[in-house]
Chains A and B, each alone.
Chain A
Amino acid sequence: MAALPRRIIKETQRLMQEPVPGISAVPSDTNARYFHVIVTGPEDSPFEGGLFKLELFLPEDYPMSAPKVRFITKIYHPNIDRLGRICLDILKDKWSPALQIRTVLLSIQALLSAPNPDDPLANDVAELWKVNESEAIRNAKEWTRRYAMDN
């Protein structure tokens, strides 16, 4: 197996030394390219108070190609589908090697604050978000309480 690129080591160290508030990312013991991630739901969003588990994998040619990220905790969000896949441009064509694990996770956290039902991945959720936003937000809060809260 090829040695772990120094950049990944550096990012990992920095994530530990200067953690991003509301985000933690820890490499797996057996695969330093695989990260266990927790993103806390942003304040003043329907996801507030939730602890969302994600998995993040750095592919072979990272940072030349984007990390693969998905939600493990269920979440009611128009840009995240039932399988936890995330619709976010920087994970696809807008990826740049100047982005890092921390910036990717911050963008995902920002996506929780600003759902975009016009570019949906979860069609039914997006539909409700457009037609009846207050009900959609109620659902999102309910899912957060049921699946992502500590108690």
Chain B
Amino acid sequence: MSAAVDERVTDEIEALEAILMDDVVIKRVGEMPDIIETVVHPSTGDDIDQQFVCVTLEVKLTPEYPDSSPLVTLRNPRGLDDKLLSTINSQIKEKLSDCLGQPVVFELIELIRENLTESNLPSGQCVICLYGFTEGDVFIKTQCYHHFHSHCLANHLIAGRRYYQEELEKIPLWQQVSAPPYQQTCPVCRCPVSCDVDTLKKAPPPMDSITAPPFCLTAELKDLQRKMAALLAQQVAKGGVVGVGDTGPPPLTITTPADNEIQEEATNGSPGASQEVKVEAIVERQNGNGSNGNSTPGSPNSRPVYRGPYSLVRTYLVAPPSHLGLVIIMILDERRLLLDIGLLKVLHKDWCPHSSARDPQPGRRTTLWLAYPQGGLELSSHN
């Protein structure tokens, strides 16, 4: 049935198995050898710790091999960038056409090994800081052949451990007992790794990160910012923005009269407040760290919350409900504030917000007046 295997091929495979032993895998289809696979490392004697790069060579034999070229693929490159890989690939192509008619696998392994030995320093970048590896950098190779500056990997492992602990504390005690223990993982492939964090974190930060140029907004960026703002304004106007025209709790809520009576008692001490509701809020730009404890002092509990881009620091309701509210806003981003005012107008068209300052300055306290129909105004913080 099956054609006899070419003697040249049998000899080559025998030799490969004799020399590489467990490091070579021969996949067969029936009797016929089909794929030869091996991981190629740089020559570093027997010092495995000094091998920083590797790649898997896969040779798929054709029925006519070695009289026709096999199909050669490089897989799972570690520590090699695209440029080096394409160099190796084009050398492989040349080698294949030069060696037509004779076994080529050893030649290929040798060719790749030479290239790896020459660049036995991880090329590409540390994926954690996005800087390369240069002279003087302290870096580490994981068991899965991924490279990181020791400094960067330490930060990752410390953060990973902290996240694990935080998540663990959220589940009930009886479940904590059976939770899987913390396992360090490689940031790239998520394989388990085991590293000594204390040693890693003594390493200095990557050299390139120290000398990198500072950030500045380019004209291109500013142009894009303008386009973004225009699009947002357009979507706000159409009611296409989260929180606008929703049937559920609106992002900004008018409290019930009963709530305001409670507030009234609490704030009775302010004379001459007349018919005005005064809501003073010092808000700051949402910084995403919703963890600061001073989120909602002074505001009633469990109310639908303001989900705008500012998080609230303090709220005061200092007078009975009426037609005019006062919000004091710490402006950190003028355009954003103006958009918010636009949003309020869309939300409750009876409201008439306007700013006391003609040209609000970032970081300056600015008074924002809100005239609104009935009830108090409540703002509470994100999360």
Contacts and interface: CB of A to CB of B under 8 A. Distances in A.
Interface of A: 3-4, 6-12, 16, 24, 26-34, 36, 38, 51, 53, 55, 57-61, 63-65, 68, 70-74, 82-84, 93, 96-98, 100, 146-148, 150
Given A29-B225, A53-B228, A59-B289, A12 B215 contact: yes
Contacts, number: 129
B232 A98 contact: no
Contacts of A11: 130
Contacts of A83: 242-243, 307
Contacts of B222: 29
Contacts of B3: none
Nearest to A93: B167
Nearest to B226: A26
A60 B248 CA distance: 32
Nearest to A66: B163
Most chain A beta-carbon neighbours within 10 Å: one of B238, B242, B243: B242
Interface string B338-362: 0000000000000000000000001
Contact of A31 (B187, B228, B332): B332
Given A26-B224, A63-B128, A146-B238, A38 B243 contact: no
28 contacts: A6-B129, A6-B131, A9-B212, A9-B215, A27-B217, A28-B225, A28-B333, A30-B332, A30-B333, A31-B333, A36-B225, A36-B229, A38-B231, A51-B231, A53-B228, A57-B287, A59-B289, A64-B155, A68-B288, A71-B242, A73-B235, A82-B248, A83-B243, A96-B188, A97-B156, A97-B159, A98-B188, A147-B239
B279 to A, nearest CB: 23
Contacts of A147: 235, 238-241
B225 A7 contact: no
Contacts of B190: 96
A75 B131 CA distance: 37
A96 B215 contact: no
A40 B353 CA distance: 33
A27 B288 CA distance: 15
B81 to A, nearest CB: 15
B130 A73 contact: no
Contact of A82 (B131, B221, B246): B246
Interface string B116-158: 0000000000011111000000000000000000001001101
Interface in B177-191: 185, 187-188, 190
B286 interface: yes
Contacts of A98: 127-128, 187-188
B336 to A, nearest CB: 8
A1 to B, nearest CB: 11
Contact of B159 (A12, A34, A65, A70): A65
Nearest to A96: B187
Given A82-B248, A93-B163, 20 more contacts: A7-B128, A9-B214, A26-B224, A29-B225, A29-B333, A30-B285, A36-B229, A53-B232, A55-B309, A57-B287, A57-B288, A63-B128, A64-B158, A64-B159, A72-B235, A74-B244, A83-B307, A96-B185, A97-B187, A150-B234
Contacts of A36: 225, 228-229, 232
Contact of A10 (B130, B185, B234, B287): B130
A74 B242 contact: yes
Contacts of A26: 221, 224-225, 228
Contacts of B155: 64, 97
A84 B185 CA distance: 30
B362 to A, nearest CB: 6
Given A26-B224, A57-B287, A97-B187, A74 B159 contact: no
Contacts of B128: 7, 63, 97-98
Nearest to B167: A93
Contact of A59 (B129, B248, B288): B288
Nearest to B238: A147
Nearest to B243: A83
A16 B187 contact: no
B131 A53 contact: no
Interface in B155-175: 155-156, 158-159, 163, 167
Nearest to B246: A82
B333 A7 contact: no
A72 B235 CA distance: 9
A33 to B, nearest CB: 8
B70 to A, nearest CB: 34
